[in-house]
Amino acid sequence: MSQTTIGSAVARVDGFDKLTGRARYAADFHPEGMAHAYGVYSTISRGRIVSIDTSIADGMPGVIEIFHHDNFPTLHRSPASFPEENMVDELRTPFEDDVVHYAGQFVALVVADTFEHARDAAYRVKASYDADSAAANLAQGLEGGVTEANRTERGDADSAFDSAEVKVDATYTTPVETHNPMEMHATTARWANGKLIVHESTQGVIFARNTLAKNFDLDPSQIEVHADYIGSGFGGKLWLWPHSLATCAVARELGRPVQFMLPRQNMFTTSGHRPETSQHIQLGAKTDGTLTSIIHDSINSTSSINTFVEACGGSTSSLYASDALRVSHATAQVARGTPTPMRAPGAGVGLFALESAMDELAIALDMDPLELRRQNFTATDPSDGKPWSSNHMLECYDRAAERFGWADRNPQVGSMRDGDWLIGQGVAACNWDAMRNPCDARVTLRPDGSATVHCATQDIGTGTYTIIAQTAADTLGIDIGRIHVAIGDSTFPHGQISGGSWATASILPAIVGACKAAADKLVEYAANDGAPMAGADTDDLLFEAGVVKNGRGDQATPADILEPQKLAHAIGDFHSDGSPEDGYAYGSFGVNFVEIGWNPNTAQLKVRRVVSSIDAGAIMNDATARSQVEGAIVMGLGAAMFEATEYDERTGRPVNNNYAEYLVPVNADMPELDVILLNHPDYHLNELGARGIGEIGLTGVQAAVANAVYHATGKRIRDLPITLDKIM
């Protein structure tokens, strides 16, 4: 490696295209003859469709066809296999029957020559229903029964809790949150010569391709899924939703390209959400703070279409040492669409409960809450007894505490003030898995000294383009400006989803391998007859800084090697099997310190400071990594104080399904964010030492806020979001 761009804050290589509008998103493609589709959505939350009256809509200007359950082409039932990479969370195929499972479910799809014509006609389709009573929220859903999904146990947690010297026993609840990426879901589909070509806003071009292959009974080679640019997804775009399948189906039926864009209000119903949770935590400890029992029993809302488990206890089995533990997950059905992963699924809400309970335990013990966490730190993963590959949680605690000034905190509730404001300071741990999966890549070296990297992954805005370019530039020793990154295309070598915080750890080893394979190929060509180093033993040749060198100080450029042999390029392919080293447990760790102000006179709650320290392995790009953590903290503060999708108890319909009433933090809500990235490589996970960083920053933020609110006000808020009425 002749240069090192890895780790530095290289500006996004896709920044220019995005800023100048050259970046094209799924709905920016307008193939010749393209029609537009617009949905008609159920207004009831459970029951049957009695009739669909299209008599007025049929005659509206520009209308081409109106599809519904009576005339929709039959698709193969949606698959759902993570190992086969064709997951969906709505198992039902669109329009497969007259059953309504949730308000906002598709009941018809109007196709017209323009978007406006399709929308106008859709408003004039009349559906009538036979409505059943429905569970509109988790509390109502619980009346219909609870299904346990899984349980993990160590020792006898109940009796250990019963006999504990100090206990906390509390239930925490979190609301539905809805993914609101800037770019709405969109599909532009066309069929040509038996092939299906789709521009889709997706976090996984391979998953999207495989799902369509199953639905349409095609070989994956007959499908191309393109996602050059994506305006984020937060998990809502991991798997395909009904609109994608429906758009592809009607494009085939009509023999012309069709585009569909999911309106913002329907993103609240038919493309997933983070479910409601109710989490019962019981912690037992000795008087010195040693945990003796951890119990985390959670229930989340799911749909009548599919069972989605929010793994609230995902971090609970591993974060703290305790001989006795029970983590269980259960679900209850409500009349909503199926939930789906939303950034930090599981731990995102699970650590609100666990880390709030840890704060309650610290108070019961009259112990510093940071000290309680230090005391229960575990150097091995208690769930399997394996040592952590790399765990610098204690350093996170130390460094963030020092930066925050935790030592100056007066633990007395309501004791800290700034003028009219009561000040509260809270702490909570962060945790996320560190995972790695198989990935292929191809690198092509050209005579002009440039290189192209091909991989069927995508950049949802996190910086994947940039870290791939950095990795290739460093491995090949050529300038980053000469690296072209080609991703977002399912026809490229098999890549990974942008999810689970595993893209970086999975993709980059494949990029390194393909770069080395391409360099080896060029070395081999350099030793060919008629080549600059003809007859040389390839073991004596070295590719370095973009040229092939021998031991005598001779150099040959790619042009010197390739042109005389009339070779267009040297190609290297690599398959990374995605296996981390055996014998270790893998995770990322961190801590959030939050300071809030509460003004009892004006009932204002304000986050004043956040200091976070994150141990997520080697940092590939200090700018994009920092942005990920900062964005996650913003999302965590939103979950703590603002975000909640509210449903009308009578109809089951979301009532704040828009940007005006679904509150997310704005700049005025945000304090300075101070993020410390530890940057300790995890070489057991991969040769770059990189883990992932997309999700961890969100975990524990809500608890840190709730703990700070308690410190200021003495009010323990166990129900998110922490709205003003709950403090007053």
- Site for ligand MOS, rule CB under 6 A: 203, 235, 238, 341-343, 345, 499-500
CB of 125 to ligand MOS, least distance (A): 34
Nearest to ligand MOS of 95, 502 (CB atom): 502
Residue 456 is classified by DSSP as B
CB of 213 to ligand MOS, least distance (A): 22
Q: What does the alpha-carbon distance between residue 299 and residue 315 come to, in Å, rounded to a whole number?
A: 16
Among the listed residues 271, 180, 195, 199, the one whose alpha carbon sits nearest the alpha carbon of residue 23: 199
Residue 667 is classified by DSSP as G
DSSP 469-497: HHHHHHHHTS-GGGEEEE-SBTTSSB---
CB of 233 to ligand MOS, least distance (A): 6
Q: What does the alpha-carbon distance between residue 728 and residue 725 come to, in Å, rounded to a whole number?
A: 5
Q: How far is CA 681 from the centre of its chain?
A: 23
Query: Within 345-452, where are the H helices?
Result: 347-365, 369-375, 393-404
CB of 203 to ligand MOS, least distance (A): 6
Nearest to ligand MOS of 500, 617 (CB atom): 500
Burial of 50 (0-12, 13-18, 19+ CB in 10 A): exposed
CB of 200 to ligand MOS, least distance (A): 15
Asked if 39 and 104 touch (Cβ cutoff 8 Å), the reply is: no
Q: What does the alpha-carbon distance between residue 389 and residue 620 come to, in Å, rounded to a whole number?
A: 18
Nearest to ligand MOS of 235, 721 (CB atom): 235
Asked if 294 and 328 touch (Cβ cutoff 8 Å), the reply is: no
Active-site residue, from 90, 310, 360, 695: 695
Q: How far is CA 147 from the centre of its chain?
A: 26
CB of 236 to ligand MOS, least distance (A): 8
2, amino acid identity: S
Tell me the residue number closest to ligand MOS, measured at CB.
235
Other C-beta atoms lying within 10 Å of the C-beta of residue 377: 15
CB burial readout 607-644, b (16+ within 10 A) else e: bbbbbbbbbbbbbbbeebbbbbbbbbbbbbbbbbbbbb
Nearest to ligand MOS of 342, 533 (CB atom): 342
User: Which residue(s) pair with 85 in the sheet?
Assistant: none
CB of 180 to ligand MOS, least distance (A): 14
Among the listed residues 624, 631, 508, 479, the one whose alpha carbon sits nearest the alpha carbon of residue 15: 624
Nearest to ligand MOS of 204, 493 (CB atom): 204
Q: What does the alpha-carbon distance between residue 655 and residue 120 come to, in Å, rounded to a whole number?
A: 23
Nearest to ligand MOS of 351, 531 (CB atom): 351
Asked if 176 and 647 touch (Cβ cutoff 8 Å), the reply is: yes
Nearest to ligand MOS of 230, 673 (CB atom): 230
CB of 529 to ligand MOS, least distance (A): 51
Other C-beta atoms lying within 10 Å of the C-beta of residue 4: 10
Angle at the Cα of 665 from the Cα atoms of 659 and 669, rounded to 5 degrees: 135
Nearest to ligand MOS of 215, 699 (CB atom): 699
Q: Tell the residue number behind the tokens 């870290």, with chain if given.
A: 467
Asked if 577 and 438 touch (Cβ cutoff 8 Å), the reply is: yes
Q: What does the alpha-carbon distance between residue 459 and residue 17 come to, in Å, rounded to a whole number?
A: 13
Query: Within 366-446, where are the H helices?
Result: 369-375, 393-404
* Distant-in-sequence, close-in-space partners of 457: CB < 8 Å, separation ≥ 6: 205, 439, 464, 487, 488, 495, 496, 497, 498, 503, 507
Q: What does the alpha-carbon distance between residue 399 and residue 616 come to, in Å, rounded to a whole number?
A: 15
* Distant-in-sequence, close-in-space partners of 233: CB < 8 Å, separation ≥ 6: 179, 181, 201, 202, 203, 460, 498
Q: No. of H helices and E strands in the chain?
A: 17, 27
CB of 345 to ligand MOS, least distance (A): 5
Nearest to ligand MOS of 284, 341 (CB atom): 341
- Annotation says 96 is catalytic: no
Nearest to ligand MOS of 504, 550 (CB atom): 504
CB of 506 to ligand MOS, least distance (A): 12
Q: How far is CA 641 from the centre of its chain?
A: 21
* Strand residue runs (E) in 165-243: 166-174, 186-192, 195-200, 223-226
Q: What does the alpha-carbon distance between residue 666 and residue 485 come to, in Å, rounded to a whole number?
A: 33
Nearest to ligand MOS of 345, 463 (CB atom): 345
CB of 634 to ligand MOS, least distance (A): 16
In the three-class reduction of DSSP (H, G, I as helix; E, B as strand; rest coil), residue 616 is classed as coil
Residue 12 is classified by DSSP as P
Nearest to ligand MOS of 182, 407 (CB atom): 182
Nearest to ligand MOS of 100, 238 (CB atom): 238
CB of 560 to ligand MOS, least distance (A): 45
CB of 235 to ligand MOS, least distance (A): 3
Encoding tokens for residue 373? 């966490």
Asked if 210 and 200 touch (Cβ cutoff 8 Å), the reply is: no
In the three-class reduction of DSSP (H, G, I as helix; E, B as strand; rest coil), residue 598 is classed as strand
Q: What does the alpha-carbon distance between residue 667 and residue 393 come to, in Å, rounded to a whole number?
A: 30
Show which residues are catalytic. Answer: 695
